[in-house]
Structure 1
Amino acid sequence: MVVTIGFEGSANKIGIGIIRDGEVLSNPRRTYITPPGEGFQPSATARHHQAHVLDVLQEALDIAKITPDQIDAVCYTKGPGMGAPLVSVAVVARTVAQLWQKPIIGVNHCIGHIEMARLITGADDPTVLYVSGGNTQVIAYSERRYQIFGETIDMAIGNCFDRLARLLKLSNDPSPGYNIEQMAKRGQRLVRLPYVVKGMDVSFSGMLSFIEERLDKWLAGEYTPQDICFSLQETAFAMLVETTERAMALTGSQEVLISDR
């Protein structure tokens, strides 16, 4: 049996997981949450990870009931992600690997998400819609590697949602996207927003700018914050569904795997 420990700290969440032959033994984490209306900055996020990483490491070992001598390899996120948080966690992973005398493996953040989702769901050969704070891509496995069939040409959908949450002063706890989703459930009116699909690629920045320019007028008139959240969510999701369906038709895939942050 192979036991690996993985360190992830590419954004505002620090997490450490232990896996034994595909079985998740532990996966504790801590999330850096900023006040409403504020995003998380790299330096402050890195300090958060530095403050919590050793506690999370001990918690991961305790929950898994694993000792360092039972671990076969140390893995860590090498990118993509925010530079300072990535470095702060990578330093700890390298130190642990040296102290425990274990091999260390750098993992691509995006592929890690996809493979983790495949492991949990049992998907065989899916078309992947990878959506997160920093990435929006339609991906499939072809010719012995992951190929990008479409992606955002400007900002990621997660970043778009985060920025709308800041405009509306929504809480970042547990996450801006979650709180937008809850608001959207109470939306009553669909606001017409720019729908931008260019071949297999999508664009969200124009939609966000469109909202920013009109938000005060809308909120003072006939639309509620719930309506705005509902409209952004429905429009953005429709764009992603269109490109994902097109990729499925191209690859002949019968499975869709949605992987987020």
Structure 2
Amino acid sequence: MPTVLGLEGSANKVGAGVVRDGVILSNRRATYVTPPGHGFAPGPTARHHRGALLGLVAAALSDAGLRPQHLDAVAFTRGPGMGAPLAVVAAVARTLAQLWRLPLVGVNHCVGHIEMGRLLGPAPDPLVLYVSGGNTQVIAYARRRYRILGETLDMAVGNCLDRLARLLQLPNDPSPGYNVELLARRGRRLVPLPYGVKGLDVTFSGLLSHLQAAAPRLLASGEATPEDLCLSLQETAFAMLTEVTERGLALTGSAHLLLVGGVACNRRLQEMLRAMCRARGAELCPTDERYCVDNGAMIAQAGGEMLRAGQTTELSQSGITQRYRTDEVEVTWRE
């Protein structure tokens, strides 16, 4: 019954959570928020995480009613993600593991999302749609790997949404993608946008560049409002995702679709995927909104599964891997 402290910090959110044998005991998180129109750079994001993480660890242990001696391991996000923020989290994890004489477990961020979704949902062996600011993948488990059936060929869908928010000077609090979603609900006109699907892969860069080029003219002439642009981007991008996901369901014959990652919180995406799943006789299993967004508990859960299977990370091998692909991980904890 391993009790694991998980540390996450691959992008602008930093978190610490404790999970014991599949029970989430605590989950603390802090977000680095920039002014409207700005993204988050690695250096300032890393400084934010450095200032917040130890306090989050103390709060997570307090929430769980535990002391360091009650832990069995420290898990941390090894990648993928932004280099400087990842390095901060890895350094803290290494320090705590040595200080508390605990095993260290380096976790793939994407696998963390999947294992948290599997823990919370009714789908032990689902097709997975992973959508976030840094990743967009259609994934299925086979022969001890999470196999990537399809993915973005350029930018992630979450980054695409964030870039539109930046163009429209939307606030980054609580998140730019959420503010795009709110505006999209009030949109009335669909602006035609490029639709990039290639088999099970998608491409968002042409869609975004077209929108960026057309937006000043459309807004100035009154042909479209900011709400219309948000609606158009969401409808087009999510239709692309729904198409490739349906193709993945047809390929795998899965009865469940697990939706994970920060963009999984989007109600319109859930609505479109649910309608598609219903038509195919499958069930959509969206991750609980508290755990869609990057968090420490998902790293603790994946770390606990790895620890149970005897997978730990030597101190000499505990560096970060910015481009750490989902299918590089040997999944020894699943049948």
Q: TM-score, normalised by structure 1?
A: 0.99
The 5-angstrom pairing of residues 1-261 of structure 1 reads 1-220=1-220, 221-261=222-262
Which digits, 9 at most, give the CA deviation of each residue in 1:35-61, with x for residues without a partner?
000000000000000011111111001
Query: C-alpha root-mean-square deviation of aligned residues, in Å?
Result: 0.7
Which digits, 9 at most, give the CA deviation of each residue in 1:116-173, with x for residues without a partner?
1111113111110001111001000012211000001010001101110000000000
Alpha-carbon distance, 1:18 to partner? 0.1
In 2, Cα distance between the equivalents of 1:91 and 1:195? 42
Q: Which residue of structure 1 aligns with residue 268 of structure 2?
A: none
Q: TM-score, normalised by structure 2?
A: 0.77
In 2, Cα distance between the equivalents of 1:240 and 1:19? 32
In 2, Cα distance between the equivalents of 1:222 and 1:64? 54
In 1, Cα distance between the equivalents of 2:195 and 2:120? 33
Residue identity opposite 1:14 in structure 2: V
| RCO comparison, higher one (Cα < 8 Å, 6+) | 2
In 2, Cα distance between the equivalents of 1:44 and 1:120? 33
Tell me the secondary structure at the aligned position of residue 194 of structure 1. coil
In 2, Cα distance between the equivalents of 1:124 and 1:99? 36
Q: Percent identity?
A: 63
In 2, Cα distance between the equivalents of 1:99 and 1:216? 55
Residue identity opposite 1:243 in structure 2: V
Alpha-carbon distance, 1:109 to partner? 0.7
In 2, Cα distance between the equivalents of 1:97 and 1:154? 37
Tell me the secondary structure at the aligned position of residue 15 of structure 2. strand
Residue identity opposite 2:212 in structure 1: E
Number of aligned positions between the proteins: 261
Residue ranges of structure 2 left out of the alignment (5+ in a row): 263-335
Regions of 4+ moved over 3 Å = none
Tell me the secondary structure at the aligned position of residue 69 of structure 2. helix
Residue identity opposite 1:195 in structure 2: Y
In 2, Cα distance between the equivalents of 1:117 and 1:236? 23
